[in-house]
Each structure stands twice: as structure tokens, then as C-alpha cells.
């Protein structure tokens, strides 16, 4: 691994200040004093790490990041009288809708379908939920149907697949295939979900980067043209309802697939940085989403440390050293982040990732095959029985290892914050050192 993985990467620096601009908006809403201090610190930092002309560009990028988030939460808000809404999700307690690209909560008793377009009359209350992306909520008085969006028909397709799966699978297997291949964890048992959390492999239940890479590789082994494979991934993501984790993964795949063709100086760090900007332009509120942070912290850890860790495992088989290096490098920043957010570190993470995760990848592949072939008469039933057996084995191993996964280390989040601060300070100081070194050489 090159020791300067993030050095000399203008896209990485641009993405950092674009993200910081969005975080500054949240600070402005929460505490104006801290906002002022952080703004001043960022401006000083910009002028320290760059030349004058570049500093102006970085300052503009940070301002763009600020207004990108502000426009979503503050500008063009819904009306109090009536509005056109597309229903995007529904639960037993509430309904989610989208107005002009903004998420809102609807409190109503009407039986609405996902993808249905409605004209509503009601009172809008501005109450932003930064993490989930809601700009407010509607107390609905009246509504009428105004047609259906494409999302409605894709949801009907998924419901048809679910109905078929329900008839050929056990209750436990049905929950797993819904989570792993259709992006819906509501059919999973809560105890099962908690067990996978303790083992640190809950990520296999969300259609995310791992799942998209599997789809990309499976289809790519048959169809060699990357543009067609990516189109299939995009269609699949739309059909399952475009969950945030899947959207992030698709954006990243697009950048990684076409980066080398578009940008001569393409590299993984720049691709990761560019994808973060694209994602936040599309959905600004992802910046405050915990899963967004975990995804990027894991990827940053992999980009910086995976090759170095792999070099230290030459005595292992290649396939094992590659898997271990990815797992361990991803945890370098994820563990302190979870400690900071939840005040604990679950030591069962290593147990689950090293032993169960490889088997979990096989289950994910099987889940996709089942979804695509389940409607074939007789063949669907046969695959369903094999899948039931596979899930039974997976659950047996998980249950056995979960007995040893209760090793939870309680952590003062101040130490986690200090760790992350020192880590990024070291990267910053190394960046300064390299600049001075380059100037001396020239």
C-alpha cells in the first residue's frame, strides 16, 4: 500500500469540505456559538492546507455543502393547504411520502398503496428529523387519488414475489430472504436481529455494498459489458424500493466502474470521495445517517489499511489473507465510531465476521438466486427446500457462536472521540509534512 493513499487527492479534500459544509448547517441550527467556532476553524484549515486560489475554491465547495443541506430542510417547504404527494413507504403506525423531493410523515387513516400519487389537504408542521430526512409532518384532513408512480408497479412486482416465497419457505427463511434480497427487515424476528447485531454481521441483512458487488460479479461473469450490468443493478435497486444502503452502493459502483475511463488519475480514495458528493447531492440528509457514516468509515479503513494488513499475513492462503485484511481494516474506524455513538464495543464482532460472514456471503448469493427463480413451478419449490436447509444451518452456527458474543466492553465515548481526532490529526500532519517535503525537493 502506498503510504500517501490520501495525499495529493484534490477530490478527497473537496469531499471533506463539502461534508463539513453540511455538518456546519446542523451546528447552525443547534448551537450558534459552536457553529461560529467550527466555521472559523474550517476557514483557517482551508488556508493552511492549500494555496490562496485553491483555498477560495475549497471555501466555495464548503458553502455549496452548507446550502445543499439547507435547501433540503429549509427551502421550498410543503404548503398548509394542499399538496401532491407520492407515497414511498407505509407501516402500521404512519405513512411516508415525498413532496418535491422532500420526505414527510403523513398521519392519516386511509389505506394507501406505495407508489400512489395523492392530493392532500391538511396542516403541515415543520419538524425536521435530520437523521431520517423528514422535513415535517402532515395532519391530513382529506385526500384523493391522482394516479400512480412507477414505484407502485415495482412494489406490486415485489409483493407478487413475496407471496410466492411465503408459500415455499419456512417463517425464518422467509424473513432472511426478504432482508437479504428484497431490502425489508420487518419480517425478521427481533431476537434474530439482535443476535446478528451482537455478532457484528447485521450488515448482511441490508441490501448494501456487499450485496451489490455480489450481483455485479454474478451478472458480470455472464455479461461482460459493465454498463449493462450497472443498469441491471440500478433497475433492481429501484424495484426493491431504493433503500438508502443500496442507493449508496449503486452510486459507488458507477463511480468505480467508470472512473478509470473518465479520469486519468483515478484511484479508490478519489472514487470514494466523489461518490460521497454525488450521494449527498441526491439525498442531503444521508449526511446525518448512522449507516452512511458506518459505510464510509468502513471503506476509508479498507482504502488506507487493507493492503498493509494483507502484507502482514503472507503466511496465510491468499483467499484467507484477503478476507481477513478487508474485515480487520474495516473495523479500524468503525469500532471507535460505534463506541462514540453507543458507548460500547462488542468483541463478538470479530467472532462473527471471521467465522459466520463467509458463510453469510453464500446465503446472500443463494437468496438472489431464489428470488429470481422462485416462480418457476416445481423448481421454485426445490430451491425453496434447499434454502430452508441452508438457513437452518446458518441459524444453528449463529446461535452457537452467539453464546460467546456477550463480551461487551463499555467505553467512555470521549476516548472514542479522542481516538478519531488523533487519527485524522495524524493524516493532516502527514499531509503537511509531504507538502513541505515536496517543496524542498523542488
Q: pLDDT at residue 203 above 90?
A: no
CA distances from 402 to 68, 194, 304, 353 (A): 43, 10, 31, 12
With a pLDDT cut of 90, the percent of the chain lying above it is 17
Rounded-to-integer distance, Cα 386 and Cα 126, Å: 50
Instruction: Tell me what pLDDT residue 4 has.
Output: 45
In the numeric block, which cell numbers belong to residue 35?
457553529
Q: Mean pLDDT lowest for which of 131-140, 332-341, 376-385, 403-412? A: 403-412
Q: Mean pLDDT lowest for which of 42-51, 175-184, 185-194, 220-229? A: 42-51
Q: pLDDT at residue 208 above 90?
A: no
Instruction: Tell me what pLDDT residue 421 has.
Output: 65
Q: How confident is the model at residue 411 (pLDDT cuts 50, 70, 90)?
A: low
Give the tens place of pLDDT for each residue, 302-322. Answer: 777 778 888 887 777 776 677
For CA atoms 232, 238, 239, 240, the dihedral sign is positive
Q: What radius of gyration, in Å, describes the C-alpha atoms of the chain? A: 23
CA distances from 400 to 30, 91, 404, 405 (A): 45, 33, 8, 10
Instruction: Tell me what pLDDT residue 90 has.
Output: 82
Query: Residues with Cβ < 8 Å from 99, sequence gap 6 or more?
Result: 78, 83, 84, 85
Instruction: Tell me what pLDDT residue 37 has.
Output: 86
Instruction: Tell me what pLDDT residue 259 has.
Output: 67
In the numeric block, which cell numbers belong to residue 152?
407502485
Q: pLDDT at residue 165 above 90?
A: yes
Q: pLDDT at residue 6 above 50?
A: no
Give the tens place of pLDDT for each residue, 261-285. Answer: 666 556 777 778 888 898 899 899 9
| Structural element, H or E, at residue 125 | strand 116-129
Q: pLDDT at residue 2 above 60?
A: no
Q: Mean pLDDT lowest for which of 111-115, 149-153, 338-342? A: 338-342
Amino acid at each position: 500500500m502506498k503510504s500517501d493513499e490520501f495525499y495529493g487527492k484534490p477530490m478527497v479534500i473537496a469531499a471533506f469540505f463539502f461534508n463539513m459544509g453540511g455538518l456546519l448547517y446542523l451546528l447552525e441550527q443547534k448551537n450558534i456559538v459552536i457553529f461560529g467556532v467550527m466555521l472559523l476553524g474550517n476557514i483557517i484549515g482551508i488556508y493552511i492546507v492549500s494555496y490562496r486560489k485553491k483555498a477560495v475554491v475549497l471555501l466555495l465547495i464548503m458553502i455549496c455543502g452548507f446550502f445543499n443541506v439547507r435547501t433540503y430542510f429549509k427551502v421550498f417547504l410543503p404548503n398548509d393547504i394542499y399538496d401532491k404527494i407520492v407515497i414511498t413507504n407505509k407501516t402500521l403506525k404512519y405513512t411516508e411520502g415525498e413532496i418535491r423531493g422532500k420526505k414527510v410523515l403523513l398521519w392519516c387513516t386511509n389505506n394507501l398503496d406505495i407508489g400512489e400519487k395523492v392530493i392532500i389537504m391538511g396542516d403541515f408542521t415543520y419538524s425536521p428529523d435530520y437523521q431520517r430526512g423528514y422535513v415535517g409532518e402532515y395532519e391530513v384532513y382529506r385526500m384523493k387519488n391522482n394516479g400512480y408512480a412507477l414505484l407502485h408497479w415495482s412494489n406490486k412486482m415485489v409483493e407478487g414475489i413475496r407471496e410466492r416465497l411465503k408459500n415455499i419457505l419456512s417463517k425464518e427463511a422467509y424473513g432472511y430472504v426478504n432482508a437479504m434480497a428484497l431490502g425489508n427487515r420487518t419480517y425478521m424476528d427481533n431476537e434474530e436481529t439482535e443476535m446478528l447485531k451482537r455478532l457484528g454481521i447485521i450488515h448482511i441483512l441490508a441490501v448494501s455494498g456487499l450485496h451489490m458487488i455480489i450481483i455485479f460479479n454474478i451478472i458480470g461473469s455472464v455479461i461482460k459489458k459493465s454498463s449493462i450490468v450497472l443498469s441491471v443493478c440500478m433497475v433492481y435497486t429501484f424495484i426493491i424500493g431504493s433503500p438508502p444502503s443500496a442507493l449508496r452502493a449503486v452510486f459507488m459502483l458507477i463511480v468505480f466502474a467508470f472512473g478509470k475511463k473518465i479520469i486519468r488519475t483515478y484511484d479508490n480514495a478519489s472514487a470514494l470521495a466523489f461518490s460521497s458528493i454525488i450521494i449527498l447531492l441526491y439525498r442531503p440528509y444521508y449526511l446525518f445517517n448512522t449507516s452512511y457514516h458506518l459505510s464510509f468509515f468502513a471503506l476509508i479503513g479498507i482504502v488506507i489499511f487493507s493492503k498493509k494488513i494483507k502484507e502482514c499475513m503472507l503466511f496465510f492462503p491468499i483467499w484467507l489473507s484477503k478476507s481477513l485484511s478487508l474485515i480487520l481494516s474495516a473495523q479500524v474506524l468503525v469500532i471507535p465510531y460505534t463506541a462514540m455513538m453507543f458507548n460500547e464495543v462488542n468483541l463478538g464482532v470479530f467472532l462473527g465476521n471471521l467465522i459466520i460472514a463467509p458463510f453469510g456471503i453464500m446465503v446472500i448469493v443463494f437468496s438472489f438466486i431464489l428470488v429470481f427463480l422462485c416462480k418457476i413451478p416445481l423448481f421454485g419449490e426445490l430451491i425453496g427446500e434447499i434454502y430452508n436447509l441452508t438457513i437452518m444451518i446458518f441459524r444453528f452456527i449463529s446461535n452457537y457462536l452467539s453464546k460467546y458474543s456477550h463480551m461487551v466492553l463499555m467505553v467512555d465515548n470521549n476516548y472514542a472521540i479522542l481516538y478519531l481526532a488523533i487519527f485524522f490529526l495524524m493524516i493532516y500532519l502527514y499531509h503537511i509534512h509531504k507538502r513541505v517535503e515536496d517543496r524542498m525537493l523542488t
